[in-house]
């Protein structure tokens, strides 16, 4: 168990809908990262938050947004969903701001857009 | 029709043999590298990491080798066990996040 908790584990929805994925980092970790894993793209970095503030953006679509709350949990919001958004979404956490340290991953949320 | 997907390189080894998984990285400025193991239905799990001031680092049954000259990373697993069957990812620090390779599927046969 990595200590990172993601909910829900599975999510099935329709095109055009909006969903929220939730992540609780390991106790004491201040950084939260979101990654998308799809069959054709592998693990793609989406966005990083550190202590409530956005710190880095990767290949995140404008239809996607995220935030980190004062209790350090994070949510990833996906809107106007398309079939191609079907993927496994992972949250990872680390202790500090530096990117050259190991990340601890949650078990992921499997999103299926029908 | 033709299916589209990520065709992972696959390494098949016999139980008890040593495994070597290779990875080419892209950013010559990367100073940190890490290997993850992902089992089916689970998130990536940390195996071992190495910083650019080292060429080799050993863990329990695993060794990572770093060749900065050719930007190559390898993961060696000694006495491979059935529980080692998984997808293995290398990742490099891009300065703003870890950038992951496509992965290699390791299959351990009895």
Q: Which of A54-58, B6-10, B22-26 has the highest mean pLDDT?
A: A54-58
Contact B98 A107 (CB under 8 A): no
Q: Cα(B72)–Cα(B22) distance, rounded to whole angstroms?
A: 7
Kindly report, residue by residue over A39-67, the tens digit of the pLDDT: 877 899 999 999 999 999 998 999 999 99
Contact A40 B94 (CB under 8 A): no
Residue in A closest to B35 by C-alpha: A102
CB A45 within 8 A of CB A58: yes
φ/ψ of A72, rounded to 5, equals: 80, -5
Q: Which residues contact B6 (CB under 8 A, 6 or more apart)?
A: A38, A39, A40, A41, A42, B102, B103
Contact B44 A43 (CB under 8 A): yes
pLDDT at B8: 78
Q: Is the pLDDT of residue B4 over 70?
A: no
Q: Given B5, B32, B89, which is nearest A40 (Cβ)?
A: B5
Burial A61-93 (b: 16+ CB within 10 A, else e): eeebebebeeebebbbebeebeeebbbbbbbbb
Closest by Cα among A22, A62, A25, A30 to A46: A62
Residue B2 pLDDT class (50, 70, 90 cuts): very low
Contact A103 B46 (CB under 8 A): yes
Cβ of residue A58 closer than 8 Å to a chain B Cβ: yes
Q: How many CB pairs under 8 A join A and B?
A: 68
pLDDT at A1: 87
Q: Is the pLDDT of residue B1 over 70?
A: no
Kindly report, residue by residue over B62-92, the tens digit of the pLDDT: 999 999 999 999 999 999 999 999 999 999 9
Mean pLDDT computed over A89-104: 92
Contact A39 B43 (CB under 8 A): no
Residues in B 69-88 with any Cβ partner in A closer than 8 A: none
């Amino acid at each position: 168990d990595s200590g990172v908790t993601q909910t829900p584990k599975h999510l099935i929805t329709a095109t055009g809908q909006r969903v929220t994925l939730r992540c609780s980092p390991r106790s004491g970790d201040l950084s939260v990262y979101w990654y998308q894993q799809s069959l054709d793209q592998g693990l793609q970095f989406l966005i990083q938050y550190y202590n409530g503030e956005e710190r880095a953006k990767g290949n995140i679509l404008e239809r996607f947004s995220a935030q980190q709350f004062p209790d350090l949990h994070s949510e990833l919001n996906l809107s106007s969903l398309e079939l191609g958004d079907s993927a496994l979404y992972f949250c990872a956490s680390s202790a500090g701001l530096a990117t050259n340290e190991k990340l601890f991953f949650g078990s992921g949320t499997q999103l299926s857009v029908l | 029709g033709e299916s589209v997907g990520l065709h992972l390189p696959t390494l098949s080894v016999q139980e008890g043999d040593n495994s070597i998984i290779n990875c080419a990285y892209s950013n010559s400025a990367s100073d940190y590298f890490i290997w993850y193991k992902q089992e089916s239905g689970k998130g990536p799990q940390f195996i071992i990491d190495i910083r650019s001031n080292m060429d080799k680092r050993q863990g329990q049954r695993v060794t990572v080798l770093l060749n900065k000259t050719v930007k190559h990373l390898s993961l060696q697993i000694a006495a491979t066990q059935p529980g080692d069957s998984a997808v293995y990812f290398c990742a490099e620090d891009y300065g703003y996040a870890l950038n992951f390779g496509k992965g290699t599927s390791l299959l351990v046969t009895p």
